[in-house]
Amino acid sequence: MEKISILGFILAILYFITELACNGHTHVDNNVQSKQKALIDFNSGLKDPNNRLSSWKGSNYCYWKGISCENSTGFVISIDLHNPYPRENVYENWSSMNLSGEISPSLIKLKSLKYLDLSFNSFKAMPVPQFFGSLKNLIYLNLSSAGFSGSIPSNLRNLSSLQYLDLSSEYLDDIDFEYLYDIHSEYFNNLFVENIEWMTDLVSLKYLGMNYVNLSLVGSRWVEVANKLPSLTELHLGGCSLSSSFPSPTFVNLTSLAVIAINSNYFNSKFPEWLLNVSNLVSIDISDNQLHGRIPLGLGELPNLQYLDLSLNVNLRGSISQLLRKSWKKIEVLNLAQNELHGSIPSSIGNFCNLKYLDLSFNLLNGSLPEIIEGLETCSSKSPLPNLTELSLYYNQLMGKLPNWLGELKNLRALYLSSNKFEGPIPTSLWTLQHLEYLYLSRNELNGSLPDSIGQLSQLQGLGVSSNHMSGSLPYSIGQLSQLQCLYVSSNHLSGSLPDSIGQLSQLQDLDVSSNHLSGSLPDSIGQLSQLQELDVSSNHLSGSLSEQHFWKLSKLWYLRMDSNSFHLNVSPNWVPPFQVNDLDMGSCRLGPSFPAWL
Ligand SMILES: *[C@@H]1O[C@H](CO)[C@@H](O)[C@H](O)[C@H]1NC(C)=O
Ligand SMILES: *[C@@H]1O[C@H](CO)[C@@H](O)[C@H](O)[C@H]1NC(C)=O
Ligand SMILES: *[C@@H]1O[C@H](CO)[C@@H](O)[C@H](O)[C@H]1NC(C)=O
Ligand SMILES: *[C@@H]1O[C@H](CO)[C@@H](O)[C@H](O)[C@H]1NC(C)=O
Ligand SMILES: *[C@@H]1O[C@H](CO)[C@@H](O)[C@H](O)[C@H]1NC(C)=O
Ligand SMILES: *[C@@H]1O[C@H](CO)[C@@H](O)[C@H](O)[C@H]1NC(C)=O
Ligand SMILES: *[C@@H]1O[C@H](CO)[C@@H](O)[C@H](O)[C@H]1NC(C)=O
Ligand SMILES: *[C@@H]1O[C@H](CO)[C@@H](O)[C@H](O)[C@H]1NC(C)=O
Ligand SMILES: *[C@@H]1O[C@H](CO)[C@@H](O)[C@H](O)[C@H]1NC(C)=O
Ligand SMILES: *[C@@H]1O[C@H](CO)[C@@H](O)[C@H](O)[C@H]1NC(C)=O
Ligand SMILES: *[C@@H]1O[C@H](CO)[C@@H](O)[C@H](O)[C@H]1NC(C)=O
């Protein structure tokens, strides 16, 4: 500290006796000119179709967009040209504002440069410039998703002050990554590492991001290398083509490690028990690998763990009741989906005061949910699981009645219980959950009816109770669910008519009421559902005429099934429907002779 401030003082004096570049003084010395020239050379190599760097003119380079200087000296300390519009809307506005072109070695002249961010631009398969290894004062280097390719140069070993190194390609988990990669490959990094030993020279490294950098040639050496970086806090090696096992280091050095994300690789060993020695761990993601064997109970004793994702390993085993009896003191996200967890969920689950997200779907859980859960005393809010927003238990073998405490999870936004063997009625308490957005209970043995109080769920976007034994009629109040996008109630014993109020569901995209005992006519108001894409009313006892009004605003419809009812079509012969369906079955045999061309 002392040294830095003395240095600062000397620099400040130098500044007064030489130059006030950023304060608009007229005299410009060689030093400033050379920095300015370095930046202008850098700029002239870049292609900037959107004129992002239009402010890069005049002598006050400290005020150019993306440039920061040390105020006292006018030294350039930061160049931040990350794309401000990364892939927000990947299909429509893909990587607008991107920079490309050459990266001039003139940057070497900026001897004080500490921070360089070129992320999310498109340098079109350019290799990472070797000269970056000469930017010796760099603390932060972000080249993520900027279109670099080839081998990461071992020259970077000279960056002994580097604390943040991000060479990741972005992780696109909700869209078709391969499709995008094909059409936009120049915007992704396509990097690999042959030999990773040089990285042990990056002694200041706190953050290493190399998602989707191909490390297949490195083998398991990455463990020893990471173990030699004394300050390493975050390690992101998702999708790096790492395989086989990760050997335990002889002695676990990684005392600072808080985040390890090594998801989407090909590890096919047991869970790396040595991670349990890293007591600072806050977040572990080893999802989407091929781990097998037991999930160690010790994970539940890691004192700082907030985030654990071991989903999609398929062969990880464990007893859920043993696991959840551990303390999990700070856990907020627990995702163990798509494994081989067995047993039943213990009442101690209520004690997870900070839990926000629990996903145990696609496992072998059985037994019934505990009737009562603990937690009333433990959590400061005096309610069990006070922070839970998403609970996912679908595709298990859970049975018995749905317990009333589900309706006490006041912050719940999503409840997924489909594909189990739950029976009996849906607890009335569920219809009081004000924040509920998704309620999926399909493919169980539930009975009873949907109550009027369903209209209170003002945030509901998706409701699924298909393939159960529900009876009664669809309540009129369903029309109050103004956010509802998907309504699936097929394959039940619902009777009565479809309420006219259904036409008020202005956001509705999917409506499936097929295979019930619904009768009466199809309400005209259906024709108002301008967002509707899929409509299935087949296999009911519906009747009456289908007029042009029933289809009035359905311009987005692409799937339509109305067969196995007793409708008769009553539209003029030259009527052109507002939609083009790809998949259509209106039950031709029952529609009568006036069979329009579009069927
Ligand atoms: C440098 O000066 C600018 C403008 O006067 C100010 O916004 C900024 O916070 C200062 N930076 C530092 C590191 O003092
Ligand atoms: C598309 O990019 C422009 C900048 O070119 C930005 O102003 C706009 O907000 C972006 N739109 C979307 C939908 O991302
Ligand atoms: C990205 O930059 C390249 C090269 O300048 C340009 O051809 C491309 O159109 C840009 N992409 C977008 C979405 O603006
Ligand atoms: C790295 O440092 C070594 C020793 O200081 C030096 O010989 C070498 O030229 C440097 N490499 C780069 C790319 O600056
Ligand atoms: C690198 O830049 C990307 C996009 O600008 C950002 O999301 C990421 O957090 C940055 N990495 C680090 C280590 O700051
Ligand atoms: C990674 O590199 C190896 C060896 O060069 C290659 O066989 C493999 O296909 C690469 N993986 C990916 C995902 O590109
Ligand atoms: C532990 O880290 C230090 C550097 O901090 C290194 O010298 C030592 O070799 C490391 N130990 C192991 C077993 O890797
Ligand atoms: C982990 O810690 C235990 C003691 O708690 C120790 O016996 C063991 O050697 C450690 N393992 C490693 C790989 O450091
Ligand atoms: C959990 O909820 C309580 C209040 O219900 C709140 O004080 C606390 O900050 C929440 N914890 C987390 C991790 O969000
Ligand atoms: C749950 O499955 C196990 C086998 O994994 C079986 O032994 C046990 O009886 C089952 N329990 C219930 C309540 O069905
Ligand atoms: C619902 O199913 C349970 C058995 O799971 C049965 O006892 C009850 O009578 C059924 N209720 C209705 C309304 O069908």
Q: From the CA of 277, how far away is ligand 8's center (Å)?
A: 6
Q: Is the pLDDT of residue 391 over 80?
A: yes
In a domain, 398, yes or no: no
CB of 241 sitting under 6 A from ligand 6: yes
CB of 451 sitting under 6 A from ligand 11: no
Neighbours of 370 (CB within 10 A): 17
Q: From the CA of 72, how far away is ligand 1's center (Å)?
A: 9
User: Which ligand is closest in space to the CA of residue 243?
Assistant: 6
- Find the angle CA(406)-CA(455)-CA(469) to the nearest 5 degrees: 60
Contact between 267 and 288 under an 8 Å Cβ cutoff? The reply is no
- Average pLDDT score over the chain: 87
- Distance of CA 55 to CAs 61, 67, 403, 409, Å? 9, 10, 63, 53
pLDDT value, residue 589 = 31
pLDDT value, residue 571 = 82
CB of 120 sitting under 6 A from ligand 5: yes
Q: Is the pLDDT of residue 28 over 70?
A: no
Q: From the CA of 397, how far away is ligand 10's center (Å)?
A: 9
pLDDT value, residue 370 = 95
Pocket test of ligand 2: the residue of 96, 97, 99, 120 to mutate, having most ligand atoms within 8 Å of its CB, is 96
pLDDT value, residue 31 = 75
Where does a domain end: 165, 191, 214? 214
Contact between 167 and 143 under an 8 Å Cβ cutoff? The reply is yes
Q: Is the pLDDT of residue 63 over 50?
A: yes
Pocket test of ligand 5: the residue of 85, 99, 144 to mutate, having most ligand atoms within 8 Å of its CB, is 144
CB of 274 sitting under 6 A from ligand 8: yes
Ligand 7 atom 7, closest CA: 228
What percentage of residues in the chain have a pLDDT greater than 70? 87
Where does a domain end: 170, 186, 214? 214
pLDDT value, residue 344 = 97
And the tokens for 133? 């290894």
pLDDT value, residue 90 = 53
CB of 247 sitting under 6 A from ligand 10: no
Neighbours of 564 (CB within 10 A): 17
List, for residues 82-130, the tens digit of each pLDDT value: 988 766 555 555 556 788 899 999 999 999 999 999 998 888 889 999 9
Ligand 11 atom 6, closest CA: 424
Q: From the CA of 307, how far away is ligand 10's center (Å)?
A: 29
pLDDT band per the 50, 70, 90 thresholds, residue 21: very low
How does DSSP assign 340-392, residue by residue?
Answer: EEEE---GGGGG-TT--EEE--SSEEEEE--SS-S-TTTSTTSSSSTT--EEE
Residue 359 sits at φ, ψ, to 5 deg, of -125, 110
Contact between 268 and 290 under an 8 Å Cβ cutoff? The reply is yes
SS3 content of the chain, % helix, strand, coil (to 5): 20, 20, 55
Q: Is the pLDDT of residue 591 over 60?
A: no
Neighbours of 583 (CB within 10 A): 9
Contact between 521 and 499 under an 8 Å Cβ cutoff? The reply is no
pLDDT band per the 50, 70, 90 thresholds, residue 131: very high
| Amino acid of residue 529 | L
CB of 249 sitting under 6 A from ligand 7: yes
Region of poorest pLDDT, from 54-68, 281-295, 390-404: 54-68
pLDDT value, residue 3 = 41
Which residue is listed with tokens 């859970």? Answer: 398
Q: What is the CATH number of the domain that holds 541?
A: 3.80.10.10
Rounded Cα gap, residues 506 and 382, in angstroms = 39
Q: From the CA of 349, how far away is ligand 9's center (Å)?
A: 16
And the tokens for 526? 């259906």
Rounded Cα gap, residues 517 and 526, in angstroms = 19
CB of 386 sitting under 6 A from ligand 9: yes
pLDDT value, residue 572 = 83
What percentage of residues in the chain have a pLDDT greater than 90? 71
Q: From the CA of 40, how far away is ligand 4's center (Å)?
A: 25
Pocket test of ligand 11: the residue of 447, 469, 492 to mutate, having most ligand atoms within 8 Å of its CB, is 447
Rounded Cα gap, residues 150 and 342, in angstroms = 45
In a domain, 340, yes or no: no
List, for residues 448-502, the tens digit of each pLDDT value: 999 999 999 999 999 999 999 999 999 999 999 999 999 999 999 999 999 999 9
Residue 93: partners with Cβ closer than 8 Å, 6 or more residues away? 85
Q: Is the pLDDT of residue 171 over 70?
A: no
In a domain, 399, yes or no: no
User: Which ligand is closest in space to the CA of residue 230?
Assistant: 7
Domain that holds residue 483: 449-599
Higher pLDDT, 387 or 570: 387
And the tokens for 301? 């004793």
User: Which ligand is closest in space to the CA of residue 116?
Assistant: 5
Q: Which atom of ligand 6 is nearest to the CA of 190?
A: 14
Q: Is the pLDDT of residue 581 over 70?
A: no
List, for residues 347-358, the tens digit of each pLDDT value: 999 889 999 999
Which residue is listed with tokens 């939609």? Answer: 579
How does DSSP assign 288-302, residue by residue?
Answer: SS--EEEPPGGGGG-
Rounded Cα gap, residues 263 and 233, in angstroms = 17
Rounded Cα gap, residues 465 and 231, in angstroms = 51
Q: Which atom of ligand 3 is nearest to the CA of 48?
A: 5
What is the DSSP pairing of strand 469-470 with strand 115-117? unpaired
List, for residues 176-202, the tens digit of each pLDDT value: 555 666 656 666 778 999 999 999 999
Neighbours of 195 (CB within 10 A): 11
| Amino acid of residue 455 | G
Q: Is the pLDDT of residue 316 over 60?
A: yes
Q: Is the pLDDT of residue 20 over 50?
A: no
Q: Which atom of ligand 8 is nearest to the CA of 250?
A: 13
Q: What is the count of structural domains for the chain?
A: 2
Where does a domain end: 193, 214, 235? 214
pLDDT band per the 50, 70, 90 thresholds, residue 71: confident
Region of poorest pLDDT, from 57-61, 326-330, 438-442, 585-589: 585-589
pLDDT band per the 50, 70, 90 thresholds, residue 596: very low
Q: From the CA of 451, how far away is ligand 11's center (Å)?
A: 16
Residue 165: partners with Cβ closer than 8 Å, 6 or more residues away? 141, 156, 159, 202, 205, 207, 208, 209
What is the DSSP pairing of strand 67-69 with strand 76-80? antiparallel
Contact between 147 and 172 under an 8 Å Cβ cutoff? The reply is no
Residue 172: partners with Cβ closer than 8 Å, 6 or more residues away? 87, 90, 180
pLDDT value, residue 89 = 52
- Distance of CA 159 to CAs 135, 199, 227, 471, Å? 7, 10, 18, 69
pLDDT value, residue 13 = 37
Over residues 154-183, the mean pLDDT reads 78
Pocket test of ligand 9: the residue of 381, 383, 388, 413 to mutate, having most ligand atoms within 8 Å of its CB, is 381
Measured between its terminal Cα atoms, the distance across the chain in Å is: 80
In a domain, 371, yes or no: no
Ligand 3 atom 12, closest CA: 96
Q: From the CA of 353, how far away is ligand 10's center (Å)?
A: 28
In a domain, 406, yes or no: no
In a domain, 306, yes or no: no
Contact between 557 and 534 under an 8 Å Cβ cutoff? The reply is yes
Over residues 121-142, the mean pLDDT reads 93
pLDDT value, residue 594 = 30
In a domain, 188, yes or no: yes
Q: Which atom of ligand 4 is nearest to the CA of 134?
A: 14
And the tokens for 451? 């109550």
Q: From the CA of 279, how far away is ligand 8's center (Å)?
A: 11
In a domain, 257, yes or no: no
- Distance of CA 563 to CAs 127, 540, 584, Å? 59, 9, 9
Q: CB-hemisphere CA count at 13 Å for 138?
A: 27
Q: From the CA of 356, how far away is ligand 3's center (Å)?
A: 40
User: Which ligand is closest in space to the CA of residue 62?
Assistant: 1
Pocket test of ligand 5: the residue of 143, 166, 212 to mutate, having most ligand atoms within 8 Å of its CB, is 166
31 exposed, middle or buried (CB, 10 Å; 0-12, 13-18, 19+)?
A: middle
Region of poorest pLDDT, from 252-266, 344-358, 562-576: 562-576
Helix (H/G/I), strand (E/B), else coil: 43: helix
List, for residues 43-54, the tens digit of each pLDDT value: 999 999 889 999
User: Which ligand is closest in space to the CA of residue 320?
Assistant: 10
